[in-house]
Amino acid sequence: MRKKTDFLIIGTGIAGLTYALKVAPYGKVCIVTKGEAVESATRYAQGGIAAVMYTPDSYEKHIRDTMIAGDNLSDPEIVRITITESTERIQELIEWGVAFDKDRSGKYDLAKEGGHSEFRVLHHKDQTGAEIENVLLQRVRENKNIEIFENHFAIDLITQHHLDGEVGPGSDEEIVCYGAYVLNKANHQILTLLAKTTMVATGGAGNVYATTTNPPVATGDGIAMVCRAKGKIENMEFIQFHPTSLFNPAETPSFLITEALRGSGAVLKTRTGKEFMQKYDSRLSLAPRDIVARAIDNELKISGDEFVCLDARHLDKKVILNHFPAIYAKCLSIGIDMTKEMIPVVPAAHYTCGGIAVDRHAKTTIRNLYASGECSSTGLHGANRLASNSLLESLVFSHRAAFDAVKTMQNSKFKNGVPDWNAEGTVFNEEMILITQSLKELQGIMTNYVGIVRSNLRLKRASDRLEIIQKETEELYQKSVLTEKICELRNLISVAGLIIQMATNRKESRGLHHSIDYPGHYGE
């Protein structure tokens, strides 16, 4: 089956949906998403969106905090663009219908998170993402120019590779994207979706690790697809571990305990109730995430405990019930009354700072192809993302992408001669268990050897072991009728390879990449 559209979007999180609303007045929009439309990391965002709203906050302060958190690897121009455009983008969200909490005086109730020098995080209780996702989906569903294809899994981008053969390093031919091959999960058919412009908004890759706050859809598909299409990927060594996910080993994904709770005064302590952050940073429990996660990792190594604790017992119960009702209910559901007991927490893989390299208009290195949201690398986060800057980045860059893509679409034509997907010689794989086993092995390798603290020896081990799984999976992929699970495994393996390779190349410790072999920054 074939279909044509002016704007193809892959993904229905904040990045894909805001872009859809902005391009829809100019042409036909088709969004594919691999599960139900609501399923996304966006839906689980808790803390909120960082934006400068009132004095004494200022753009300069938010810029400085972002640069410091990013360990001076963020692109100063991109940081300035994102932050100076924040207020306008938030206003737009509010006009679409997103309700951020207000205080008694009618001003927005701003929270604080690690690395922020001011209160600047707009939120909807501790369920900001669900509020945003629901409102955006409603607006998209009302729009007659936008069609959503749920349970449609994008397999690969269509480029010259599918027509005439290889392009890439050594060739001076520019790579162009003509759309994507998409698997309809209901009938196993592969759709050839031709598009004048394509937007990859597929989110992050937390599932490359055994313990993650990310939903199961976060398997790095977009990053792997662009990599296979020979687009540029960068900064993949910077994987952010959130310091405080609820310690509840039987549960996947791990439930997040928002940093805003520490912003309201909750304090990190050992299991025996001793504060420890004073040993690591003067900002204590509210230091940037890389520092707090490493501190916890170190404390766990010293004590041999499985978790540290977050103490919120001294907070006003009304504040907890009002601002953090979902966390309160979740803790209660596993027998912890957080107003009376400390919450057991551990770090978990949370955010992919690097990804598909894009410019200030979210253009990738492939013509007619854009990327926005967590799958992209704009240069905003540098070596470590400042809390609550992610939803903001998606808003700013989807807006900028839309502006550019409308012009691109008007000057593009559909490509003739694109072949349908070739599934010749493939058979239904009856050994699904092999895929599950390889996934577990992969997550074990990444967790054991490419976690919060790294070394040359560990990275080499990871690389050697990954090679075996990669070879086995590639053989299976070539002969199997495609399923979502085998595609996801293959994508996660590609992403793991990129993380290991880029971590190996970075011969320093910076932000989220910490190597015991290179303790300082380059040149120190």
Least Å distance, CB 465 to ligand SIN, is: 30
Cβ at position 401, least distance to ligand SIN in Å: 21
- Indicate the Cα dihedral angle 202, 351, 517, 291, nearest 10°: 160
Cα distances from 417 to residues 176, 194, 414, 452, 517, in angstroms, run 14, 11, 10, 47, 52
Contact stretch for ligand FAD (CB under 6 A) within 37-45, 184-192, 281-289, 452-460: 37-45
Element (H, E) at 200: strand 189-200
Site for ligand FAD in 244-273 (CB under 6 A): 256
In the annotation, is 289 catalytic?
yes
Binding residues for ligand FAD restricted to 468-487, rule: CB under 6 A: none
Q: Does 349 bind ligand FAD (CB under 6 A)?
A: no
Is the CA virtual torsion 340, 46, 352, 392 positive or negative? negative
Indicate whether 202 belongs to the interface with ligand FAD (CB under 6 A).
yes
Q: How many helices (H) and strands (E) does the chain have?
A: 14, 16
Question: What gap in Å lies between CA 202 and CA 126, rounded to an integer?
Answer: 24
Q: Which is nearer to ligand FAD, 41 or 446 (CB)?
A: 41
Answer for which of 82, 127, 394, 509 binds ligand FAD (CB under 6 A) is: 394
The Cα angle at residue 259 between residues 381 and 496, in degrees rounded to 5: 45
Q: Are strands 2-10 and 29-32 parallel, antiparallel or unpaired?
A: parallel
Q: Least Å distance between CB 468 and ligand FAD?
A: 25
123: phi then psi, degrees, rounded to nearest 5: -150, 165
Considering the complex, state which of residue 198 and residue 352 has its C-beta at the smaller distance from ligand SIN. 352
Residues 104-133 binding ligand FAD (CB under 6 A) are 128-129
The single residue among 57, 259, 290, 297 that binds ligand SIN, judged by CB under 6 A, is 259
State which of positions 156-185 bind ligand FAD (CB under 6 A): none
**Does residue 374 bind ligand FAD (CB under 6 A)?**
yes
Least separation in angstroms between residue 390's CB and ligand SIN is: 5
Binding-site string for ligand SIN from residue 357 to residue 396, where x marks contact by CB under 6 A and - marks none:
------------------------------xx-x------
Q: Residue type at 423?
A: A
Sign of CA dihedral 100, 55, 67, 454: negative
What number of residues does the chain have?
A: 524
Q: How far is CA 293 from the centre of its chain?
A: 18
Residue 50: CB minimum distance to ligand SIN, A: 8
H or E element in which residue 261 lies: helix 259-263
Q: Which stretch binds ligand FAD (CB under 6 A): 202-210, 289-297, 328-336, 419-427?
A: 202-210
| Among 74, 258, 408, 494, interactor with ligand SIN by CB under 6 A | 258
Catalytic residue among 262, 289, 454, 458: 289
CA dist., res. 405 & res. 395, Å (int): 15
CA distance 490 to 129: 29
From residue 285, alpha-carbon distances to 238, 265, 269, 472 in Å are: 21, 9, 9, 44
In the window 26-65, what residues touch ligand SIN (CB under 6 A)?
46-47
Selection from ligand FAD, ligand SIN, none that 267 binds (CB < 5 to 8 A by kind) is none
Interface ranges with ligand SIN (CB under 6 A): 46-47, 258-260, 351, 387-388, 390
Q: Which residues are catalytic?
A: 289
Interface ranges with ligand FAD (CB under 6 A): 10-16, 32-35, 39-42, 44-49, 128-129, 153-154, 201-204, 213-214, 217-218, 221, 256, 351, 373-375, 388-391, 394
